[in-house]
């Protein structure tokens, strides 16, 4: 027991540094996923049948295959095959981002669809082009409605980011494994790592909740 | 060249992946069933239970939803032997998946239980139902319908997360893929097929769950998925 | 400047179907500058669809719209936006932008569509809010306003674009009875100020006192049209009068 605590104490800074790597991977992936997910969502709501179908297939594809399979496919497969040299960190971020883009597109799509048709009509009636209406009227409202979804997405991605250990990204999980296999304190170390994930999930969730409160407009939330 | 490729896929890849898929199914099905059971039990405890039971339920859900699945897997597989409990890779995976999935199911079922209006319980009491009869004939039929979309979603997640069993050397679909690809260096080919199998499994499950939802649909119980 | 005899807006032979359901059968209407035309008729008779075809929120299958002598080609995006800018629209359910304050709701069209500077837009928006009696509510969000206040903001939003014509689609139908008066008086003031308007409404008394011409629309067709006195006079054997008598019985107006 005492020995376990000692190992945790000694390993803590090393593991916390790892957790920071997780957070960086997740935030980059969320940003990447947002940049892809936004046009997907807009396309799925306002696009023609053909475009909607294509986006539907994209979402089905990235939501239907496990993260671990994508990681192997991209890291050992695609990039080696194309003879492109990328770090495990990059691949991990990219894969998480691609998967997240599918989920984020659905968060945003839900938010956009939940707005009343009248908002678009009124914007058009003022003489706004559809692009202007989407940028100035629809999206500012949809983003606000999406924050709870993003909070959830952050928590999911953070936990999923532990899987990137399979590629050798030196994040929290891999560091925990490293310490555990040297000290044979598997139980204690993995429990500690679990709690660190829990704490970082809590911090991120809290931050997004504060953001949510800050940008909330009366009558503009669910 | 292409002939070799096709022969390799036909003779080596397909049989191994079939075997792997079978193991995956053997992981997913019991985990899904145990998961739903855990979810129903813990949700009932959290909604209707005594304070202590409620607290236990809440803690269970907090921890098993809060820890990454991979960490839970490692705790059961690598951590427990330290306490003298040894689980095979297969059983460690099933236990992990069931408990983690149960924590997520618990949230959906709890939400569904809470959504049942007081008037429904009053109505049941008014026609002389006992508490048990109320639960069996009124609460559960409504709650399960409300929970079905969320629980179904969770099972879809379970199918994908079952791939993590490979990380504790339970050689299921992803594991078979990894072994094949490491030997032949044909990662793109092998993992494209592996991915396709998962897509198939997920799509099949989605289809079944959607039909279930339709089958049990009642006007007024249309659920907007979160 | 057009002469008074020339119509500012002409709607020619507009037809619209949704699937096999024909909502508008060959409807034509023209209105001169400063005129007020009020459309009445049973719900589902095509009033709202008709008004929405005028600024192409609903694309007519056949027919044309001519504004100030210029026939609008709705497939030209730029021409479409210009046309809509010049036609103000008031919706039954207000459709204020929920994420913007009353002031910003009025400003946004001027800034994003007319390209006005923020400062000038604010000044004009305040003037419009003042005109509808809501200067002191400028910083409230739509959810913080009453229905009547929302509708007045939406009128200010339309006025700020300097429309040549205003379309009002049952502007008081979604309001609680005690709030109808404040919106009606704003609309009345607009009429006195010479605004050209086409309004759909169920408020017969209001229609009668405001309209230069009443148009009775049923099943997607204009059945009768004429001055309020012609159509609504005691003993006039018109469909319009029958209809009004019926809703007066029910609504007790």
Which CATH number do you get for residue B7? 1.10.3720.10
Q: Which residues contact C47 (CB under 8 A, 6 or more apart)?
A: C39, C40, C41, C169, C170, C200, C217
- ipTM of predicted assembly, 2 dp: 0.91
Question: What tens digit of pLDDT does each residue of B118-152 get?
Answer: 888 888 888 888 888 888 888 888 888 889 989 99
Helix or strand holding residue C166 (H, E): strand C165-169
**Do residues C117 and C179 share a domain?**
yes
| pLDDT score, position B221 | 66
| pLDDT score, position A2 | 82
Banded model confidence at residue A222, pLDDT cuts 50, 70, 90 = low
CATH of the domain at C111: 3.40.50.300
Residue C151 lies in a domain: yes
| pLDDT score, position B225 | 41
Domain that residue C170 falls in = 97-193
Domain that residue B158 falls in = 2-215
Residues of chain A numbered 75-104 and touching chain B (CB < 8 Å): 76-78, 80-81
Task: Tell me the chain C residues in contact with residue A218 when contact means C-beta distances shorter than 8 Å.
Answer: 141, 143-144
Residue C15 lies in a domain: yes
Reported pTM: 0.88
Distance, CA of A145 to CA of A111 (rounded, Å): 6
Q: Which residue has the tokens 């204020």?
A: C96
| pLDDT score, position A138 | 96
- B and C touch with 3+ CB pairs <8 Å, answer no
- Does the pLDDT value for residue C253 go beyond 60? no
Banded model confidence at residue C239, pLDDT cuts 50, 70, 90 = confident
What average pLDDT does this structure show over B1-9? 77
Residue C55 lies in a domain: no
| pLDDT score, position B48 | 85
* Domains of chain A, start order: 2-215 (1.10.3720.10)
Distance, CA of C214 to CA of C210 (rounded, Å): 10
Output the average pLDDT for chain C: 91
Residue B205 lies in a domain: yes
Q: Which of C1-5, C98-102, C125-129 has the lowest mean pLDDT?
A: C1-5
Percent share of chain B, pLDDT over 70: 96
**Do residues C68 and C27 share a domain?**
yes
Count of domains forming chain B: 1
Higher pLDDT, A222 or A212: A212
Nearest to C112 among A116, A118, A136 (CB): A136
Q: B218: how many CB neighbours lie within 10 A of its CB?
A: 9
CA distance A14 to chain C (A): 45
Residue B187 lies in a domain: yes
Let me know the angle formed at the C-alpha of B106 by B102 and B108, rounded to the nearest 5 degrees: 120
Count of domains forming chain C: 3
Residue C82 lies in a domain: no
Search chain A and give the residue with CA nearest C52.
Answer: A125
Question: What tens digit of pLDDT does each residue of A126-175 get?
Answer: 999 999 999 999 999 999 999 999 999 999 999 999 999 999 999 999 99
Distance, CA of A184 to CA of A189 (rounded, Å): 9
Mutate to test the interface with A, among C88, C97, C150, C168 (most CBs of A within 10 A): C97
Helix, strand or coil, per DSSP, at residue C116: coil
Residue B223 lies in a domain: no
- Does the pLDDT value for residue B163 go beyond 50? yes
Q: Which residues contact A128 (CB under 8 A, 6 or more apart)?
A: A136, A137, C81, C109, C112, C113
Q: Does A220 touch chain C (CB under 8 A)?
A: yes
Contact call for residues A127 and C81 (beta carbons, < 8 A): yes
CA distance C101 to chain A (A): 9
Tokens of A59: 């979402």
| pLDDT score, position A111 | 95
CA distance C96 to chain A (A): 7
Banded model confidence at residue B226, pLDDT cuts 50, 70, 90 = very low
Residue B221 lies in a domain: no
Banded model confidence at residue B4, pLDDT cuts 50, 70, 90 = confident
Residue C90 lies in a domain: no
**Do residues C139 and C171 share a domain?**
yes
Q: Does C75 touch chain A (CB under 8 A)?
A: no
What average pLDDT does this structure show over A62-84? 91
**Do residues C102 and C174 share a domain?**
yes
Nearest to A126 among C113, C141, C142 (CB): C113
Residue B222 lies in a domain: no
Tokens of A94: 């990219």
């Amino acid at each position: 027991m005492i020995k376990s605590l000692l190992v945790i104490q000694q390993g803590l800074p090393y593991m916390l540094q790892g957790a920071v790597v997780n957070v960086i991977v997740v935030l980059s992936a969320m940003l990447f996923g947002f940049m892809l997910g936004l046009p997907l969502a807009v396309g799925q709501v306002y696009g023609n049948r053909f475009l909607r179908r294509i986006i539907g297939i994209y979402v089905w594809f990235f939501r239907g295959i496990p993260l671990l399979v994508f990681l192997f496919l991209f890291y050992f497969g695609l990039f080696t095959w194309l003879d492109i040299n990328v770090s495990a960190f990059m691949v991990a971020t990219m894969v998480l981002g691609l998967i997240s883009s599918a989920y984020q597109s659905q968060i945003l799509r839900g938010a956009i669809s939940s707005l009343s048709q009248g908002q678009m009509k009124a914007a058009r009636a003022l003489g706004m082009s559809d692009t202007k209406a989407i940028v100035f009227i629809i999206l500012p409202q949809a983003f606000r409605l999406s924050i709870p979804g993003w909070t959830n997405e952050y928590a999911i991605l953070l936990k999923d980011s532990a899987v990137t250990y399979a590629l050798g990204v030196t994040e929290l999980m891999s560091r925990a494994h490293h310490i555990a296999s040297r000290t044979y304190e598997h139980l204690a170390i993995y429990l500690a790592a679990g709690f660190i994930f829990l704490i970082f999930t809590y911090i991120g969730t809290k931050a997004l909740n504060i953001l949510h409160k800050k940008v909330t407009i009366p009558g503009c939330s669910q | 060249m292409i002939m070799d490729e096709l022969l390799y896929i036909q003779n080596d890849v397909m049989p191994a992946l079939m075997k792997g898929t079978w193991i995956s199914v053997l992981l997913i099905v019991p985990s899904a069933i145990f998961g739903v059971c855990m979810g129903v039990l813990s949700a009932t405890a959290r909604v209707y239970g005594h304070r202590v039971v409620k607290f236990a339920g809440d803690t269970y859900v907090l921890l098993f939803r809060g820890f990454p699945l991979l960490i839970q897997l490692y705790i059961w597989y690598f951590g427990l032997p330290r306490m003298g409990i040894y689980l095979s890779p297969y059983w460690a995976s099933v236990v992990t998946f069931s408990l983690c999935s149960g924590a997520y199911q618990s949230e959906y079922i709890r939400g569904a239980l809470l959504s049942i209006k007081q008037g429904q319980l009053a109505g049941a009491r008014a026609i002389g139902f006992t508490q048990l009869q109320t639960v069996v004939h009124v609460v559960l039929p409504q709650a399960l319908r409300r929970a079905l979309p969320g629980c179904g979603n969770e099972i879809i997640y379970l199918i994908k997360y079952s791939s993590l069993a490979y990380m504790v050397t339970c050689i299921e679909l992803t594991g078979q893929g990894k072994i094949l690809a490491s030997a032949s260096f044909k990662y793109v080919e092998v993992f494209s097929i592996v991915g396709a199998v998962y897509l198939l499994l997920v799509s099949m499950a989605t289809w079944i769950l959607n039909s279930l939802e339709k089958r049990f649909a009642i006007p007024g119980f249309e659920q907007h998925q979160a | 400047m057009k002469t008074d005899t020339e119509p500012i807006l002409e709607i020619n032979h507009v037809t619209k179907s949704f699937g096999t359901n024909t909502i508008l059968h060959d409807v034509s209407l023209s209105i001169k500058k400063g005129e007020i035309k009020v459309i009445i008729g049973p719900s589902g008779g095509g009033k709202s669809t008709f008004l929405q075809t005028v600024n192409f929120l609903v694309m007519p299958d056949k027919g044309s719209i001519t504004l100030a002598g210029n026939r609008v080609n709705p497939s030209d995006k730029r021409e479409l936006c210009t046309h809509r800018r010049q036609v103000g629209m008031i919706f039954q359910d207000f459709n204020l932008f929920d994420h913007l304050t009353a002031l910003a709701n009025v400003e946004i069209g001027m800034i994003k569509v007319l390209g006005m500077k923020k400062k000038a837009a604010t000044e004009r928006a305040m003037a419009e809010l003042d005109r509808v009696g809501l200067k002191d509510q400028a910083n409230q969000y739509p959810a913080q306003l009453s229905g009547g206040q929302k509708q007045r903001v939406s009128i200010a939003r339309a006025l700020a674009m300097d429309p040549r014509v205003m379309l009002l689609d049952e502007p008081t139908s979604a309001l609680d009875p005690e709030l109808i008066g404040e919106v009606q008086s704003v609309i009345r003031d607009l009429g006195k100020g010479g605004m050209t308007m086409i309004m759909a409404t169920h408020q017969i008394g209001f229609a009668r006192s405001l309209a230069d011409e009443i148009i009775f629309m049923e099943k997607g067709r204009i059945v009768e049209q004429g001055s309020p006195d012609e159509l609504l006079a005691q003993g006039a054997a018109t469909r319009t009068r029958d209809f009004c008598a019926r809703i007066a019985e029910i609504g007790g107006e």
